[in-house]
Amino acid sequence: MPPLNRPLTPCDYVVFGGTGDLAMRKLLPSLFQRDRGEQLPPEDRIIGVSRQAMSDDRYVAMAEEGMRRHMKPDEFDPAVWDRFSGRLHHAAIDATGESGWPELAETLGAAPDRVRMFYLATAPDLFGPICERLQAAGLVTEQSRVVLEKPIGHDLYSARCINERVGAVFSEHQIFRIDHYVGKETVQNLMALRFANVLFQPLWNSTSIDHVQITVAETIGVESRGGYYDHSGALRDMVQNHLLQLLCLVAMEPPLHLDKDSVRDEKLKVLRALKPIGRDQVPACTVRGQYRAGAVDGAAVRGYLEESGIAPDSGTETFVALRVDVQNWRWTGVPFYLRTGKRLQQKVSEIVIQFKPVPYSIFPPTSGELAANRLVLRLQPDEAVRLHLMAKEPGPGGMRLREVPLNLSFAETFKHPVSDAYVRLLGDVVRGDPTLFMRRDEVEAAWVWTESILEAWQTRGEPPKPYIAGTWGPSTAIAMIERDGRTWHEDVGGGQ
Ligand code: BG6
């Protein structure tokens, strides 16, 4: 079936952080893609907000340069650009001061009934002040929505403060806390795989599953985000949100319906079932790493401490590996191994469901060793679902068995390019559908558990383990899983 190209309700997109990295890398390119797919009504406007004054023309030029840098040449269609650039405007606003708000009110006031999306691609400490200013300027209508980029705060306390302040201005149904991992096609396919097929349903528990691995590996370093990252680290930047969301989607019970509360209720139960990692479990269940100079994709790269914006004696982790226990009826006894890091050998995100071995082998030793079945969801790149099974090798020589994958490659099967998660998620905001966004209680539950680790790390005061850029992280991450008699999935680097 061809994709549905339904234009959305008319909307004014107001992007705070409109000249920033996220706007150029993801938000404007995703809106451009929607425009290209005839999904933006002609009257839609995109207002980039930043502190410095500039003309619309200057903003358009800046957007063109930034978007071309981040989009593939064949995505940047000049005919669409002519139309798209006409939608772009700039507003100079001091987020914590008085200037610029009346002008924004005047611009938006021309279409009071239109959907208004206030996208806050700023530091989280500005979320509260911006929302309060929006309210004071009379800009918050029934049709308004606010989108909060992660991280929502720095810890549980700051997350609660943000949620309070934003919640005093917008109702929960107007608040969209984005986690772009949930919008990725393959992540949604995890729901399709689990709940649109009967095959895995009886196997999806501790009786048949040995363990689960979730890897989100990146080759990039901290880029231009040193100032933010050095105060965050991999646990806050990636685990508290993206990896926990993936874990929730693997572990949750079937929701009653595919609607906002059913899905989020089930994810919340998983978050609440995570066993806290205390001080004594730190050595066995956590690994923190920090990259040193090395080579990635054949190019020499500097170490974390030499990156700009990083304190020379920084103890921030750029790699985390965890062994996580989900304490409930379905999952007790099934460890979830999570790992993520920057400057690793390969950019790859995968979920691996490792099944248990067959209870008894009827085959003689000459047949070869029986590998337990494995389901691999490759989120990026080369989106695919692979089910590794044992099969008989054809031909003479007796019953020789070999592990082979049943391979569902999305590119080959659907012949439709996988679009960026933001394309889908921005559409959901306009439609007012928060199913794929974090509810307040979810974010806070994720922080409760994350804080158990942060506190345990703090009390032990151990520095992160160094690893060479371009490897798979500290060797202790390999030792952690091997102590349990398991190994990281070999296709994504089981060794240094
Ligand atoms: C962001 C993190 O949320 O996700 C970044 O802040 C990270 O540090 C990025 O690089 C990874 O996203 P993706 O979609 O490229 O895997």
125-143 tens-digit pLDDT: 999 999 999 999 999 999 9
Which atom of ligand 1 lies at the shortest distance from residue 349's CA?
16
Which of 89, 90, 180, 242 does the annotation list as catalytic?
Answer: 242
Return the higher-pLDDT residue of 466 and 398: 466
- For residue 5, pLDDT beyond 70: no
Return the higher-pLDDT residue of 113 and 100: 100
Taking residues 47-67, report their average pLDDT.
Answer: 96
Which atom of ligand 1 lies at the shortest distance from residue 216's CA?
16
> Residue 121 CA to chain centroid, in angstroms?
15
- For residue 401, pLDDT beyond 80: yes
Which atom of ligand 1 lies at the shortest distance from residue 380's CA?
16
Percent of the chain with pLDDT over 90: 87
User: What is the distance in A from the centroid of ligand 1 to the CA of 285?
Assistant: 24
- Whether the CB of 237 sits within 6 Å of ligand 1: yes
- For residue 158, pLDDT beyond 80: yes
Tens digits of per-residue pLDDT, 294-317? 999 999 999 999 999 999 999 999
pLDDT of residue 493: 40
User: What is the distance in A from the centroid of ligand 1 to the CA of 443?
Assistant: 18
Which atom of ligand 1 lies at the shortest distance from residue 232's CA?
6
- For residue 457, pLDDT beyond 90: yes
- Residue identifier of the C-alpha nearest atom 2 of ligand 1: 237
Mean pLDDT of all residues belonging to the chain: 94
- Whether the CB of 451 sits within 6 Å of ligand 1: no
- Whether the CB of 442 sits within 6 Å of ligand 1: no
Which of 178, 180, 236, 241 maximizes ligand 1 atoms within 8 Å of its Cβ, making it the mutation to test the pocket?
180
On the CB side of 338, CA atoms within 13 Å amount to 26
Which of 149, 179, 181 maximizes ligand 1 atoms within 8 Å of its Cβ, making it the mutation to test the pocket?
181
When pLDDT is cut at 50, 70 and 90, the band that residue 496 belongs to is very low
**Cα separation of 436 and 264, whole Å?**
8
Active site includes 257? no
User: What is the distance in A from the centroid of ligand 1 to the CA of 128?
Assistant: 24
418 Cβ contact list (under 8 Å, min separation 6): 185, 186, 383, 410, 411
When pLDDT is cut at 50, 70 and 90, the band that residue 1 belongs to is very low
Which of 154, 184, 214, 218 maximizes ligand 1 atoms within 8 Å of its Cβ, making it the mutation to test the pocket?
218
CB atoms near residue 476 (< 10 Å): 15
- Residue identifier of the C-alpha nearest atom 9 of ligand 1: 238
- Residue identifier of the C-alpha nearest atom 13 of ligand 1: 181
- Residue identifier of the C-alpha nearest atom 4 of ligand 1: 238
- For residue 416, pLDDT beyond 90: no
- For residue 3, pLDDT beyond 80: no
Amino acid in the structure at residue 81: W
- For residue 327, pLDDT beyond 90: yes
- Whether the CB of 149 sits within 6 Å of ligand 1: no
Percent of the chain with pLDDT over 70: 97
- Whether the CB of 218 sits within 6 Å of ligand 1: yes
User: What is the distance in A from the centroid of ligand 1 to the CA of 301?
Assistant: 19
pLDDT of residue 2: 44
User: Is residue 145 within 8 Å of 15, Cβ to Cβ?
Assistant: no
User: What is the distance in A from the centroid of ligand 1 to the CA of 216?
Assistant: 9
Three-class DSSP labels, the chain:
CCCCCCCCCCEEEEEECCCCHHHHHHHHHHHHHHHHCCCCCCCCEEEEEECCCCCHHHHHHHHHHHHHHHCCHHHCCHHHHHHHHCCEEEEECCCCCCCCHHHHHHHHHCCCCCEEEEEECCCHHHHHHHHHHHHHCCCCCCCEEEEECCCCCCCHHHHHHHHHHHHCCCCHHHEEECCHHHHCHHHHHHHHHHHCCCCCHHHCCCCCEEEEEEEEECCCCCCCCHHHHCCCHHHHHHHHHHHHHHHHHHHCCCCCCCCHHHHHHHHHHHHHHECCCCHHHHHHHEEEEEEECEEECCEEECCHHHCCCCCCCCCCCCEEEEEECECCCCCCCCCEEEEEECCECCCEEEEEEEECCCCCCCCCHHHCCCCCCEEEEEEECCCEEEEEEEEECCCCCCCCEEEEEEEEEHHHHHCCCCCCHHHHHHHHHHHCCCCCCECHHHHHHHHHHHHHHHHHHHHHCCCCEEEECCECCCHHHHHHHHCCCCCCCHHHCCCC
User: What is the distance in A from the centroid of ligand 1 to the CA of 414?
Assistant: 26
Tens digits of per-residue pLDDT, 228-273? 999 999 999 999 999 999 999 999 999 999 988 999 999 999 999 9
pLDDT of residue 56: 96
Taking residues 103-129, report their average pLDDT.
Answer: 92
pLDDT of residue 471: 96
User: What is the distance in A from the centroid of ligand 1 to the CA of 286?
Assistant: 21
- For residue 494, pLDDT beyond 50: no
Which atom of ligand 1 lies at the shortest distance from residue 379's CA?
16
